[in-house]
Amino acid sequence: MTTTFLLERMITPLGQMMLATDEQGRLRVIDWQDHEDNMRRLMRRQYPGTHIALRETSQASPAARAMQAYFQGDLAAIDGLEVATGGTDFQRTVWTALRTIPTGWTISYLDLATRIGRPSAVRAVGLANGANPISIVVPCHRVIGSKAALVGYGGGLQRKRWLLEHEKAIQPERLTVQADLPGV
């Protein structure tokens, strides 16, 4: 079985971004050009038994326009975007919880695990967070380590820091940077 997503590439302050939508216009994936191989690997894991074809398009989707507005300072532009994901039930539970973190806020992995009723599943929550296919819109960057440690962002810690500063969620002088390990 083959499913086709429309792939767009756009320039952002953080480098070239790729985003894909389905025929219904739902956002399916966002990643960075320099992480394209990882994006394709995550998609294969999320949609086992389905061949995902990415068809390049230059026509800007509503998702691309919303992302552009977000980067230009309209942080709420992405809030109403419709998304669809594969993944496991547990991953989708984590990703749904991520969308409840308000812009301008951060929470810890433990807080996120507690929000979904699984406080002992911190590492599993970290792994699900790391497998999130729709970064920024499903704001995995808003999850930080204990003691305000900047950890675990698939696009790189420099992008995570920029996103949190863009959203005014952090005071840079109060953040510490630890190794980029998922689930910490």
- Burial group, residue 2, by CB count within 10 angstroms (0-12, 13-18, 19+): exposed
CA–CA gap between residue 108 and residue 126 (Å, rounded): 10
Q: Any idea how long the chain is?
A: 184
Which residues are known catalytic residues?
A: 140
The backbone region for 152, taken as left when phi is positive above 0, alpha when psi lies in -120 to 50, beta otherwise, is left
Residue ranges of E strands in 41-156: 51-56, 107-108, 143-144, 149-150
Q: In what order do the strands lie in the sheet with 2-12?
A: 27-32, 15-21, 2-12, 51-56
- Beta carbons of 52 and 3 less than 8 angstroms apart: yes
Give the whole-angstrom CA distance, residue 45 versus residue 128. 12
Name residue, tokens 């975007």. Answer: 81
